[in-house]
Amino acid sequence: MDTVRDGISLLSYFVLPIILVGFPLYGIIKGVPVYESFVEGARDGFQVAVRIIPYLVAILFAIAMFRASGAMEALTKALDPALSLIGFPAELLPMAIIRSLSGSGSAALVVDMINHYGEDSILVKMAAVMYGSSETTFYVIAVYFGAVGIKKTRHAVPAGLIADAAAMVLAVWTVRLLFG
Amino acid sequence: MLNYIWAGLIVSSFVFALGYDIRDISADRYRNGKPLPVSLSFPTGYDSAARRVPIEIWVDSARYAGFYGVSGGSTQHYTGYLLQSREGIQIRFEKGAALPEPLATIAKVSQSRDTEPQGTLVGSVPGPHVTTASAGVVFAPVRFVKLNAIASAALDFAKTGAEIALGLIGVLALFLGLLKIAEDSGIVFALVKLVRPILRPLFPEIPPDHPALGMIALNLTATLFGLGNAATPFGIKAMEELQTLNPSEDTATNSMVMLLAINTASLQLVPPVLLLALMGTQINTLIFPILTTAVLGLIVAIAAARLLGRLPGFRASDPNRAPQA
């Protein structure tokens, strides 16, 4: 297991340099005016960043309000009895809810839980697996759909949330299976 | 769907904030207008003519608990000073004093221009040459804390949203520039040929030789190796390519939803750097559960994106199916 992990992380050191050096190098071999191409493509960077601002602001401020209002704690309390039925620890519920909403918020929760329960505890392991095995769905939606101006997201939100919910429950089960 | 979730978040924050505030007011949680009993001592003596008198403030745990109706806590000790003027005596705590709840919330409202917690001293004004005194402190009234909190959270995060987006400019420019080279030199098309057998079943709408598949492959590779900074520009570029195939301007196609679902599942061979930093060597034992969970999550994401797209409502809104105007 360790050698596999070392191999993968060793490989990941090379991916970025290969892209950074390999693309222009290959381009110049193929006779592409690489500098001109780069500048032309890079020009979009600013527009894309500006284009996603309204989407990001819309998502982030609504989620910030929700967290600040105390509704999060109420939701946690309301869902607790249902989740204890499937063996989901109540301590992890805030993490499960916030994982789809806010990346920095869920990282803060992991830190908080490490301070509270210690790195070795099974709860922290579950929280870390939750953090590592899923993305901040609403951020991804805001950035990716914002960049191309998609406003009608159709089934993107339910699909993302179903996948998140599955990942949260699976995180608890796998950790319990391995360390419980 | 997003419309309802978004409005739901905003409306429920308002309802909950208002509910908590009304509960606080009816329970008189902050004891507005009533004096908190404290003991003062004067390390340099008390001078009634001085504008500023240094003091030490002692808050007895039992009296504090009784006053605010909270439990536990220990006797607290703070430094501060009295500010004497014709209008009366202000008592100011040192800046950044570690106050217990609910006093910490009160101090956020009741503070001086330099953000020192501040209240008005009531009761007997100490006489000359005393070294200790009992007094009461009345803080500025605290009302609708949560309503204030949601408003300021909204303003803060509006700013954060713009900052995140603007912070992306440099990285976006770098990778979009490199991608343009990759496009012009044919790397993307070579990649398309390579990944077509794997990705085609997931994205049946994309024509076989379209560059979108190559961009998706780059996006997934970057994600796989934990390169979030590179994955985002690649993903955005992939979305732009998918948008060129989209007959509608503002409605997501099935391929877009699939790409998004795959990205939210975030299958990474290398765990996020932040998690590495937080968990230290513990991460070694977690690699396997993280990978298992992510793979299973990815399968659920793909299945959910595919199956939900078949529901009548979502099928009707598919831009590739809807009657063209």
Check whether A30 has a pLDDT greater than 60.
yes
Portion of chain B with pLDDT greater than 90, in percent: 32
Higher-confidence residue of A112 and B203: namely: B203
A71–chain B nearest CA distance, Å:
6
Name, of A104-108, B9-13, B136-140, the range with top average pLDDT: B9-13
Q: Is residue B85 located within the same domain as residue B221?
A: no
B82–chain A nearest CA distance, Å:
34
Tell me how far the alpha carbon of residue B82 is from its chain's centroid: 38
Closest CA to A20 of B175, B118, B322: B175
Q: What is the mean pLDDT of chain B?
A: 87
Question: Which residue ranges make up each domain of chain A?
Answer: 1-42, 53-179
Residues 28-87 of chain B with CB under 8 A from chain A are none
Task: Please state the rounded mean pLDDT for residues B147-160.
Answer: 92
**In 10 A of CB B201, how many CB atoms?**
10
Q: Which residue of A has its CA nearest to B248?
A: A150
Does residue B245 belong to the interface with chain A, where contact is any CB pair within 8 Å?
A: no
Contacts of B168 in chain A (CB under 8 A): 45, 48-49, 52
| Dist CA A128 CA B186 (whole Å) | 40
Residue B243: domain span: 169-316
pLDDT at position B253: 94
Closest CA to A89 of A147, A172, A167: A172
* Contacts of B92 by beta carbon, 8 Å cutoff, 6+ apart: B80, B81, B82, B83, B112, B116, B117, B118
pLDDT at position B243: 95
| Residue where one domain finishes, among candidates B132, B166, B200 | B166
- Is B256 in contact with A156 (Cβ distance < 8 A)? yes
B242–chain A nearest CA distance, Å:
9
Question: pLDDT class for A168, splitting at 50, 70, 90?
Answer: very high
Phi, psi of B139 (to 5 degrees): -95, 160
| Dist CA B308 CA B245 (whole Å) | 21
Check whether B323 has a pLDDT greater than 80.
no
Contact B181, A24 (CB under 8 A): yes
Question: pLDDT class for B155, splitting at 50, 70, 90?
Answer: very high
**In 10 A of CB B260, how many CB atoms?**
28
Higher-confidence residue of B321 and A142: namely: A142
Q: Is residue B261 located within the same domain as residue B274?
A: yes
Contact B78, B107 (CB under 8 A): no
Beta strand spans in chain B (E): 36-41, 52-59, 76-85, 88-93, 118-122, 132-139
DSSP state of B245: T
Q: Is residue B196 located within the same domain as residue B299?
A: yes
Q: Is residue B293 located within the same domain as residue B309?
A: yes
Of B65-69, B274-278, B293-297, B303-307, the least confident: B274-278
In a mutational test of the B interface, the residue from A95, A144, A177 whose CB has the highest number of chain B CBs within 10 Å is A144
Q: Is residue B71 located within the same domain as residue B7?
A: no
Q: What is the ipTM for the molecules in this complex?
A: 0.86
Q: Is residue B159 located within the same domain as residue B104?
A: no
| Dist CA B69 CA B31 (whole Å) | 10
Question: pLDDT class for A38, splitting at 50, 70, 90?
Answer: very high
| Dist CA A159 CA A178 (whole Å) | 28
Q: Is residue B257 located within the same domain as residue B297?
A: yes
pLDDT at position B129: 66
Q: Is residue B106 part of a domain?
A: yes
Q: Is residue B154 located within the same domain as residue B218?
A: no
pLDDT at position B228: 75
Check whether B324 has a pLDDT greater than 60.
no
Does residue B170 belong to the interface with chain A, where contact is any CB pair within 8 Å?
A: yes
Q: Is residue B321 part of a domain?
A: no
A84–chain B nearest CA distance, Å:
20
Q: Is residue B44 located within the same domain as residue B116?
A: yes
Contact A66, B7 (CB under 8 A): no
Q: Is residue B271 part of a domain?
A: yes
Number of domain units in chain B: 3
* Out of A16, A44, A64, closest to residue B154 by CB: A64
Q: Is residue B202 located within the same domain as residue B248?
A: yes
Q: Is residue B217 located within the same domain as residue B193?
A: yes
Q: What is the pLDDT of residues A100-114, one digit of tens each?
A: 888 888 888 888 888
Question: pLDDT class for A156, splitting at 50, 70, 90?
Answer: very high
**In 10 A of CB A63, how many CB atoms?**
26
* Contacts of B255 by beta carbon, 8 Å cutoff, 6+ apart: B203, B205, B206, B212, B242, B245
Q: Is residue B78 part of a domain?
A: yes
Of A127-136, B199-208, B267-276, the least confident: B267-276
- Is B242 in contact with A143 (Cβ distance < 8 A)? no
Q: Which residue of A has its CA nearest to B258?
A: A156
Contacts of A25 in chain B (CB under 8 A): none
Q: Is residue B73 part of a domain?
A: yes
Closest CA to B36 of B115, B100, B116, B95: B100
Number of H helices, E strands in chain A: 10, 0
Q: Is residue B205 located within the same domain as residue B187?
A: yes
Q: What is the pLDDT of residues B19-49, one digit of tens each?
A: 999 998 998 888 888 898 888 888 887 877 8
* Out of B185, B232, B264, closest to residue A160 by CB: B264
Which helix (H) or strand (E) element contains residue B95? Answer: none
Check whether B325 has a pLDDT greater than 50.
no
Contacts of B301 in chain A (CB under 8 A): 159-160, 162-163, 166
Of A166-170, B128-132, B187-191, the least confident: B128-132
Q: What is the pLDDT of residues A39-79, one digit of tens each?
A: 999 998 888 889 889 998 998 899 889 888 988 888 888 88
Contacts of B261 in chain A (CB under 8 A): 156, 159-160, 163
pLDDT at position A5: 67
Q: Is residue B47 part of a domain?
A: yes
Q: Is residue B99 part of a domain?
A: yes
Question: pLDDT class for B269, splitting at 50, 70, 90?
Answer: confident
Portion of chain A with pLDDT greater than 90, in percent: 42
Q: Is residue B157 part of a domain?
A: yes
Q: What is the model's pTM?
A: 0.81
Q: What is the pLDDT of residues B65-124, one digit of tens each?
A: 888 888 877 888 899 988 888 888 888 998 888 888 888 888 888 888 888 898 988 876
